[in-house]
Amino acid sequence: MPQNLLEQLRTYTVVVADTGDIEAMEKFRPQDATTNPSLITAAAQMPQYQPIVDGVLLAARKELGASATDQAVANLAFQRLAIAFGQKILAIVPGRVSTEVDARLSFDTEATIAQARSIIAQYDKVGIGRERILVKIASTWEGIRAAEVLEKEGIHCNLTLLFGLHQAIAAAEAGVTLVSPFVGRILDWYKKDTGKDFHGAADPGVISVTGIYNYYKKFGYKTQVMGASFRNIGEITELAGCDLLTISPTLLAELEAAQADLPRKLDPEAAQTFDIKKIVVDKAAFDRMHAADHMATDKLKEGIEGFSAALVKLETLLAKRLTEIEAHAPAAV
């Protein structure tokens, strides 16, 4: 019986699960897993994960004390919840989990560094080494500078919300471990902007990731490319051979159900033969290229705002849940 698309993809590319749903990971057994605030918020509302949420809330209350506001407890709890889910995920996947820095810190280098160190310290406290963690940071200039410092400390970073070549080059020059270009969100922007649909190799998100991959391999960067945010399996099959691809459970299931030949599309040896111009990206060039790339400007702003809104929603849900728990707790004697 011929291999399905997912089995074939695994021969070229590291498959990562893009979900906070632990049950989905148990089903598809990816090498790595990545989460973001929206995914953690969705998982936190699933009944099967209520014990994890409640345990994190009660621990945060104990740490801050009875006088702390529910909002303060919820704020601490959301940071700990990502670690709690990460811990569960790492019991399933053999590789790494990506845990995100608060998107509201995306333009603050020092605060990003501090929270990244805190994330690593929390994993260390439960016996999980930094080699199994990728700290996710938005691909702003400030975020890239934070990642440069962290990588020198042995803290591996995943630069997320990446939409333009200028972001990718700056991240590689900073020595980051991994970048996550957002394929589907790029497609969304061009569909809205042009009123047209795009398929296969003509998909602007596919073109973007292909360009980043070839640039990295041409110039020997160690930074890996992980395509993210897919809208259909056609985008995934066009990027077969990419270092990593992070895929939702829905699309993993589609790939598993599909029978067809899957040729490798991205290849490091082929990239060596391409005529690609080296680009120097300092702060001035980054700002200039970012301003000229309307898609990257729009989608980075929208992505940071979206992840920030998801965090606010999660904090609100946690504060509400804390009130419910404490209302039903037996009174102290």
At 287, list the tokens. Answer: 């700002």
Helices then strands, each counted (H, E), the chain:
15, 8
Instruction: Give CA–CA dist 164/295, Å, rounded.
Output: 8
Instruction: Give CA–CA dist 153/136, Å, rounded.
Output: 16
Q: What is the full DSSP assignment across 74-111?
A: HHHHHHHHHHHHHHHHHTT-SS-EEEEPPGGGTT-HHH
Is 265 among the residues known to form the active site?
Answer: no
Q: What is the full DSSP assignment across 184-236?
A: HHHHHHHHHHHS----GGG-HHHHHHHHHHHHHHHTT---EEEEB--SSHHHH
Catalytic residue among 62, 136, 191, 320: 136
Selection from 177, 199, 249 nearest residue 15 by Cα = 249
Selection from 183, 192, 189, 234 nearest residue 212 by Cα = 183
**Rounded-to-10 torsion of CA 148, 96, 10, 15:** -80
Check residue 4 and report its DSSP letter. Answer: B
Q: Catalytic site residues?
A: 136
